[in-house]
Chain A
Amino acid sequence: MTRRTAHALGHRALPRWTHPGAWWVWALGLATAASRTTNPILLALLVAVAGWVVARRRPDAPWSRSFVVFLRLGLVIVAIRVLFTVFFGSGVGEHVLITLPSVPLPDWAAGVAIGGPVTAEELLLAVYQGMVLATMLACIGAANSLASPARLLASVPSALYEVGVAVVVAMTFAPQLVGDVARVRTARRLRGRPDSGVRAFLGSVMPVLEGALERAVDLAAAMDSRGYGRTGPVSRRVRLTSSVLLLLGVVGVCLGVYGLLDGGTPGLVALPLLAIGVLAGVTGMVLAGRRSVRTRYRPDPWALPEWLVSLAGLVPAAVIIAVAVVSPESLVGPVAPIAWPALPLLPTLAIVVGAAAGIVAPRPPGLAVVRDLGPAAVPLEGVAA
């Protein structure tokens, strides 16, 4: 196997893991694009692109089944946004759909209205704004399904390793919680208690949390016994220096960013501060990394496919940001007056470019077999020992 064949593009590539960082760059690119438009067609297109890529390159692993959960969560957000508008909307717009009985509020609550007229314009705006959030969630969900949280951890610098562990444990927590909830619901059914509804939910909170806590303790014991947190011999001076440098770095970066965002500070002050902060931070991290004795098993390479996947996410982001500056009206879902949203050519093409990630990324290992035999031939659970 030469390096070239191993890292080749798309379908011809040998199955391997795509660098999780590339998937996150791609997904955050799409999410950025979504945050800059309320055009429902573009948003729907973004979700479709994310879904298509997930369907093509999703590995066969438990954490990769979360995309649908994120989609549902998105729908819930849209629904909540609409409900809020119905009850607390200000009634701006011409087409009144229904007038709810309004609750008179005391003077100090002026500006807040409960009930009153509900207009079509308002509702449409709520739907569009809800869709923005839902689309961003779908993009995050896509990254979650495509990139293994554990492999993401393997690629953080060793000084950040402990932060990374915390993040990954938190991320794997979610699917396990889902499993716990199912188990507790089963138990409630077996006890003859209601297994759906608000009371059932309240009744299952404590056991689920208890289970989660217990698992956390077990996991901590296992990690400890397997050598997690071993430190190499590092002198006290180096340790102190690295801590001071990290602190300086954080302060420098904060001040620098604040300066850049705050128009009053001259850029000549802000930029050097930022640079010094970054420099101190990086040096501190390198020094701190010396303490860790960890090595890495088969780290994911960052090769051509990773560049292309990242690019496929950055193109929609860049194009839509640019279009938002040049002609913002094409990115807005029109609500006043209500009209069919436009389909701007350039943003549409840019979003379609995002789908290229599903072609250029190598297939994840193990998936090829599943595809060839059809899904029924490889049972996920219940394979005999």
Chain B
Amino acid sequence: MIRFEDVSVVYDGASAPVLSHVDLHVPEGELVLVVGRTGTGKSTLLKCVNGLVPHFTGGTLSGRVTVAGRDTRLHPPRELADVVGIVPQDPLSGFVTDMVEDELAYGMESIGLAPDVMRRRVEETLDLLGLADLRHRPLLSLSGGQRQRVAIGAVLTTHPQVLVLDEPTSALDPGAAEDVLAALQRLVHDLGVTVLLAEHRLERVVQYADRVVVVHGGGVALEVGLPHDIMVTAPVAPPVVELGRLAGWDPLPLTVRDARRAAGPLRERLAPHADDAVRRSRATLHVLDGEVALTVDDLVVRHGAVPALRGVTLAADRGEIVAVMGRNGAGKSTLLSTLVGLHVPASGAVSVGGELPSRLRGRELIRKVGLVPQEPTDLLVADNVGAECTASDRDCAAVAGTTRAVLDRLAPGVDDSTHPRDLSEGQRLALALSVVLAAEPPVLLLDEPTRGLDYAAKRRLVATLRDLAADGHCVVLATHDVELAAEVATRVVVLADGEVVADGPATDVVVGSPMFAPQVSKVLSPQPWLTVSEVAAALVVAS
């Protein structure tokens, strides 16, 4: 269905090709997962499929890409619209209309289908993706998962044979991600659509893939194989696979269900140590016992008439890492923005370092509390890293070189002259984090920090956050990433509909929760293990 023959892509002005001599064949009806570190050319590979590269992006493509027999050299993207549907990383950026129903119809209007066909297909697609209740809703009022499903539906209505998705679940909470993946699964099984999917969060998608393509970048050939085979050696792997490797299970499980069926003996070996694990995680909680960094008391925040937070009470000490979880729209971001004073409480009290954050201005604020927003680039102002660091030193009246020093600690080896856009996601996050940390705020807030990060970058982030907490920072992170929460959080707070529904040590809150339990916990429950490293440590003790 999709065939790459000796394809190389060089962008104008770039010194090295993004893709070189790529050969790939995707047969009809397969769901193919594309993995690889940031910046290895995954997005370019995907954009080649419908001819956006090079017709739209510029650059030079050599070799041949054919989709359903059509050569992308001869067919610009608009001529391929009835064969390939491409869903961009941020669905909102690709919406052409403003209402759900119109958006679904747009592609069909462009290729000129008859009105009765359009009407029928819109209804079918609404049902297929569970969007019927949203048909008259404006696109901007939808949640992340709904937007993603609308974006998929919008390209599906032209009945493309190939669907290309760039990180469809990276911004979604676990529940919404499952909805999207279930919808994709149905397309592949029932309609025989060929799906090409890039995703960092392997733990969510690897089980659905028929084949995995690893993009190594830097001119190294693609690695293509069955998920089981690829996962045995892959440098990046979801926790369930790592657990399987640790326990030496064969075949390697890709799903929690497979792993659970194999996990009986492991659970028995671990049983005597389970209580120790709980005690240890509790212990980390109690040694802190530092000074109070922030308190929130019966906080109510409204967006217009709509209450976003309804009576939230919370306190956090220095040295703690608090993960705030909950579905999209539960009030996580609102809570963080209120803590930096972007929203004024409608009632209740917020205090960060003894002050009401919405009263603080300028340097007073950034010395008390820092926030890394969901999109780290929002925080960056300069057009190269050096200038950014200088500007940041000036902003917080720090000694020249402070920001640079922080950056070198978080992500060594970033060149001063690089444009922030050309950094990898992990480096960009590190830069934004350095800008915030240069003012040395005791309270550090991160909104969805692992969005778009690969496993290596995530591991570095985990180490960074632990160091910061050890230095006496109070870290609060709003996240959908259960694995991250299991890894770093000393405490987990679950918000639902603007209220706190759970608050306690990570072990207590996430174990047994179908939505927020990490994979290791799901495999080994009812024992309270959260991460592979905990299990590995216990196994060392056991042997």
Chain A interface (Cβ < 8 Å from any Cβ of B): 60-63, 148-151, 154, 172, 183-184, 186-187, 189-194, 203, 207, 215, 218-230, 232, 293-298, 365-366, 375-376, 379-385
Contact = CB atoms under 8 A, between A and B. Distances in A.
Nearest to A169: B96
A228 B172 contact: no
A36 to B, nearest CB: 34
B82 A227 contact: yes
A218 B93 contact: yes
B98 A62 contact: yes
Contact of A224 (B78, B99, B436): B78
Contacts of A230: 78-79, 81, 110-112
Contact of B118 (A191, A220, A297): A297
A224 B86 CA distance: 11
17 contacts: A61-B140, A62-B141, A151-B102, A154-B102, A186-B337, A190-B436, A191-B435, A222-B94, A225-B84, A226-B154, A230-B112, A294-B109, A297-B109, A382-B306, A382-B308, A383-B141, A385-B143
Size band of the interface chain B makes with A: 35 or more
Nearest to B326: A384
Interface in B147-176: 154-155, 158, 172-173, 175-176
Contact of A385 (B94, B173, B392): B173
A194 B154 CA distance: 42
A191 B94 contact: no
Contacts of B307: 376
Contact of A381 (B118, B141, B158): B141
A222 B95 contact: yes
- For the complex of A and B, 7 pairs with smallest distance between CB atoms: A385-B145, A382-B329, A227-B81, A222-B94, A227-B110, A297-B105, A385-B176
Contacts, number: 202
A61 B98 CA distance: 8
Interface of B: 50, 52, 55-56, 76-82, 84-86, 88, 90, 93-99, 101-102, 105-115, 118-119, 122, 136-138, 140-146, 154-155, 158, 172-173, 175-176, 179, 303-308, 327-331, 337, 340-342, 361-363, 365-366, 370-371, 373, 378-379, 381, 392, 395-396, 435-436, 439
A224 B56 contact: yes
Nearest to B334: A382
A148 B136 CA distance: 12
A228 B110 contact: yes
A191 B145 contact: no
A63 B98 CA distance: 9
Contacts of A297: 101-102, 105, 108-109, 115, 118-119, 122
B96 A222 contact: yes
A219 B93 CA distance: 6
A170 B136 CA distance: 23
Contacts of B76: 224
Given A61-B99, A380-B304, 9 more contacts: A150-B98, A194-B362, A219-B93, A221-B88, A225-B77, A226-B158, A230-B78, A294-B110, A384-B328
A186 B158 contact: no
Nearest to A148: B98
Contacts of B56: 220-221, 224
B146 A383 contact: yes
Contact of B141 (A222, A298, A380): A380
Contact of B88 (A60, A222, A294, A380): A222
A148 B115 contact: no
Contacts of B81: 225-227, 230
B507 to A, nearest CB: 26
Contacts of B172: 385
Given A224-B56, A295-B118, A150 B395 contact: no
Nearest to B397: A192
A324 B521 CA distance: 80
Contacts of A224: 52, 55-56, 76-78
A62 B95 contact: no
B392 A225 contact: no
A102 B370 CA distance: 51
Contact of B52 (A172, A225, A383): A225
A61 B373 contact: no
A186 B378 contact: yes
A192 B362 contact: yes
A150 B306 contact: no
B89 to A, nearest CB: 9
Contacts of B136: 365-366
A186 B373 CA distance: 9
Contacts of A192: 362-363, 365-366, 395-396, 439
A225 B306 contact: no
Contacts of A62: 98, 138, 140-141
A175 to B, nearest CB: 8
Contact of A191 (B102, B112, B154, B395): B395
A196 to B, nearest CB: 10
A382 B86 contact: no
Contacts of A228: 78, 96, 110
Nearest to A206: B381
A203 B391 CA distance: 13
Nearest to A374: B305
Contacts of B435: 191
A105 B530 CA distance: 81
